[in-house]
């Protein structure tokens, strides 16, 4: 015959079940959110595309700026070593 379950085991199991329920709710909410986002991507207007293109242009400019700045810093360090 198996020994009876202790109270602390019951509370541990209940806490784990509560955590699992919370995780399931978060996953369901995330799935719903992602499904809505997937539906939205097909309905982009010309204005949305233009805004996206402008943002991507600004991002590319920012990347180029920081790459140039890093190259200048590398060149400065190299010239200091000489």
- The answer, yes or no, to whether residue 5 has pLDDT greater than 90, is no
| Max CA separation in the chain (angstroms) | 83
What does the alpha-carbon distance between residue 68 and residue 19 come to, in Å, rounded to a whole number? 49
Structural domain boundaries in the chain: 1-43, 45-82
Query: Which pLDDT value is given to residue 42?
Result: 65
What does the alpha-carbon distance between residue 79 and residue 82 come to, in Å, rounded to a whole number? 5
Is-above-0.85 flag for pTM?
no
Token readout for 15 is: 């806490």
Query: Which pLDDT value is given to residue 39?
Result: 63
- The answer, yes or no, to whether residue 73 has pLDDT greater than 80, is yes
In the three-class reduction of DSSP (H, G, I as helix; E, B as strand; rest coil), residue 6 is classed as coil
Q: How many CB atoms lie within 10 A of CB 5?
A: 9
What does the alpha-carbon distance between residue 31 and residue 44 come to, in Å, rounded to a whole number? 21
pLDDT in tens, 14-72: 888 887 888 888 888 888 888 877 665 567 788 988 999 999 999 999 999 999 999 99
């Amino acid at each position: 015959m198996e020994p009876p379950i202790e109270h602390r085991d019951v509370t541990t199991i209940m806490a784990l079940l509560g955590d699992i329920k919370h995780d399931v709710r978060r996953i369901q909410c995330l799935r719903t959110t992602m499904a809505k986002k997937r539906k939205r991507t097909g309905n982009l207007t010309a204005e949305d595309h233009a805004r996206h293109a402008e943002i991507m242009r600004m991002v590319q400019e920012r990347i180029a700026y920081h790459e140039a700045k890093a190259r200048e810093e590398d060149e400065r360090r190299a010239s200091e070593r000489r």
